[in-house]
Amino acid sequence: MNNNNHSASGPLTPAEVAFLCEAQSVTIIPRQRLDGLDLIGGYIPPFHPPQRTTIPLWLALLLKRQRRCNIVPPPWLSAPNIERILKTETENQNLFCPDLPYRWLETAELLLEGCPDDLGGDDGELRVLLRGLREVRQGKVREGLGKLEATYLQMNNLGLLEITEVRGFAKGVVDGLRKIGASTGVGLVLGWMMMISRWGWCFISMVFWTG
Amino acid sequence: MYGDLGLKLVQHAKRTQSLPQLPPYQSDIVRSVTREVRDLDRDVTEILEPFNGHFDPAEEPATACSLLVHHLCMRRNKRCLLAYHRVRVEAIEEMCWSGSDLLEQVQASQNKVAEGGAGIGSAEGSGASSLSPEEEEYARQYGDLLAAYKGQWTDIDLTGSLEPPRDLFIDVRVLKDAGEIQTEYGAITLTKNSQFFVRQGDVERLIAQGFLQKLN
Amino acid sequence: MDIDDLLQELDDNKVLGGTRDINDLTQSWIAERTAPEILPFQTALLERLMERIRQQIELVETQTGNLDPKTNFCLILLQTELERVKFLVRGYLRARIHKIDKYSIYILTTPSIRGRLSPPELSYLKSHLGLLNSHFLASFLRRFPEQLRRLDDKAGGISMVEEPDLDGAVFCKVVRDIEDNIARIPGTDSEFKLTKGDVYVVRYSAVREFVLRGEIELI
């Protein structure tokens, strides 16, 4: 009844994050000819099967459902690669691997749902690996956030859907600290947490604030 | 005690937020809280009367304190009343946006009042509108305002769904012969076992009635 | 320059323009959803997009009834995209209306913020406030003592006017190289450097200026 149950306001919902993800480009192999298409978001040139072409993901998924194309999965979305990343993530508890694109999780979910047969063999294995990866990273975020009170948090290398999932919690940390700070009025930079190496590892740097 | 009724209103407001339907307007409590404000104001006037407009709080700390308490109580009651009405107004606006049968409700209650005569048609009666007459008026006026604003954006249907569009078109198989139906693309004839790629909105009723089956 | 090259270039501009407009609309929608305050209305962007939406709707309408399966399928694709764009515009406008309703008095009485509304939004806001005022007056305020009837009453240190919480935490991403790239957190000694690509959770007030200049995007 109140404004909370529809989404005119507030952070994006997972369904909306998926919607945004569908706007990104993906490579396809057309199976049928298609005339050029003058979309609002740009012109789609005619298809000449089996010549590859790049189109928005929503369009690719629609054509795939109609068996009019195959989708070429992005290079990072393969079982061996995800397995490698999962291993690194597990071995380095304080780090986030930067080898994943910003929309990795939602892209993977959409492709697993829309074109499992295009993902090169065993999509079951890929699913298991992705679930593992998601859990490992989520655990780190929660642990990192739970330990501190900060005036800001850096969250580089986290994906948009991952951010969406921890959003309420992270916002609570930053908002909550401000309220404590507001009552005492003292702010002070204290230090860092979760250090970083220079090999492109992500970090969450924190500046503490004493009350 | 002063303030009890105000609290009750806020509790009603809180409950309203979690209910699927707008509960009856609490005209009795609203009237009492309003009366309380008037009583408090009269007290203030009486307290100040002997001073002839030359009241100095430093000289009369006890009186000043009493005045402050009166003042705070009045403001608190005002906030409670505002909060209560605001929550209800938001619910009414929400109904206007979602296009629910608010005005039918209003009409039904008006008919009832017309038939049953005045006096007993209180908000508590079953089937009667849960809106106060002022709220019914507000609903009508806000509906007009919304229609005017919406009219500037006819092409995008401002009150349409806020869920991201998904599967606008779907594949369906015909389960039973259903004759000819009209779609945006003209008529199609639904013969058993044929398949179509159609706009979901055009066929939702036929799916629900078991004529068509949605395919993945 | 060859005429064909020139035409090609114009075409390219048109195509890229469409892509850019959709990206800008998407970002405006996200920003409006996540910023505590209302942001400047994207007048030119919305004008261009509404014109394109109108053209597409017209195209679909004139082609409807054409039973050639190829045309028919193209129309399905056009309509699918059309619904996506309509959803974004709708979401954008609704997110704004939500804030306009919530912070109406604050917006109306703060000239710099009021100027961020489109003319129809401003007229909606004024009429809406007028309706609310008469409604509260009719429901209970008219039986109040004269001096207690105002809605924008700030006496006694407690404001009845709801204002956006500019210190609320937001999620944001640095999207450009910024010259003066130090963000300061108001009321604290805390500051940090903004590097393109960084993602932060931070109080809105610390990044507000960067957001309004388009150097930082809210996510």
Q: Which of B99-108, B156-165, C67-76 has the lowest mean pLDDT?
A: B99-108
Contact B158 C120 (CB under 8 A): no
For residue C144, give its domain range.
111-157
Average pLDDT of span A18-39: 95
Token representation of residue C44: 């030119």
Instruction: Among A72, A90, A117, give the residue marking a domain's end.
Output: A72
Whether A107 contacts A23, CB under 8 Å = no
Instruction: Among A23, A40, A72, give the residue marking a domain's end.
Output: A72
Query: Which CATH number is C71's domain given?
Result: 1.20.58.1030
Band the pLDDT of C122: cuts 50, 70, 90.
very high
Query: Which CATH number is A26's domain given?
Result: 3.40.5.50
- Find, in chain B, the residue whose alpha carbon is nearest to that of A21: B164
**What local confidence, expressed as pLDDT, does residue C6 receive?**
67
C41 lies in the same domain as C98? yes
Contact A1 B16 (CB under 8 A): yes
B-C interface: how many C-beta pairs under 8 angstroms?
A: 110
- What residues have CB less than 8 Å from B172, skipping those under 6 apart? B195, B196, B197, B198, B203, B207, B212, B213, B214, B215
C9 lies in the same domain as C98? yes
Contact A58 C80 (CB under 8 A): yes
Band the pLDDT of C24: cuts 50, 70, 90.
very high
Domains of chain B by start residue, with CATH: 4-146 (1.20.58.1030), 169-215 (3.40.5.60)
Average pLDDT of span C54-63: 91
For the entire predicted model, the pTM comes to 0.84
Contact C140 B186 (CB under 8 A): no
- Find, in chain C, the residue whose alpha carbon is nearest to that of A191: C190
Give domain status of residue C163, yes or no.
no
pLDDT tens figures, B30-61: 999 999 989 998 988 888 888 887 888 888 88
Compute the nearest-CA separation of A8 from chain C (Å): 5
Q: Does C214 contact chain A (CB < 8 Å)?
A: no
Contact C90 B71 (CB under 8 A): no
Nearest-angstrom CA–CA distance, A33 and A45: 11
C82 lies in the same domain as C129? no
Give domain status of residue C72, yes or no.
yes
C98 lies in the same domain as C11? yes
Task: Count up the domains in chain C and report the number.
Answer: 3
Whether C82 contacts B165, CB under 8 Å = no
pLDDT of B123 over the 60 cut: no
**What local confidence, expressed as pLDDT, does residue A188 receive?**
24
Interface test with C, best of A21, A100, A152 (most C CBs within 10 A): A152
Instruction: Among A72, A92, A111, give the residue marking a domain's end.
Output: A72
Average pLDDT of span C56-71: 82
Query: What is the ipTM, given to two decimal places?
Result: 0.85
Average pLDDT of span C2-22: 72
Q: Which of B112-116, C139-143, C188-192 has the lowest mean pLDDT?
A: B112-116
C93 lies in the same domain as C12? yes
**What local confidence, expressed as pLDDT, does residue B1 receive?**
59
- The secondary structure element, H or E, covering residue C29 is helix C3-34
pLDDT tens figures, A123-151: 889 999 999 999 999 888 777 766 655 66
Q: Which amino acid is at C71?
A: T
Give domain status of residue A43, yes or no.
yes
Task: Count up the domains in chain A and report the number.
Answer: 2
- Closest CB to B17: pick one of A2, A15, A62: A2
Instruction: Give rounded-to-5 percent helix, strand, coil for chain B.
Output: 60, 10, 30
Give domain status of residue C50, yes or no.
yes
DSSP 8-state symbol, B100: -
**What local confidence, expressed as pLDDT, does residue C58 receive?**
93
CA nearest C52: which of A10, B155, A165? B155
pLDDT tens figures, A171-199: 777 777 666 554 333 222 222 223 222 22
Nearest-angstrom CA–CA distance, B89 and B109: 18
For residue A3, give its domain range.
1-72
Nearest-angstrom CA–CA distance, B167 and C80: 8
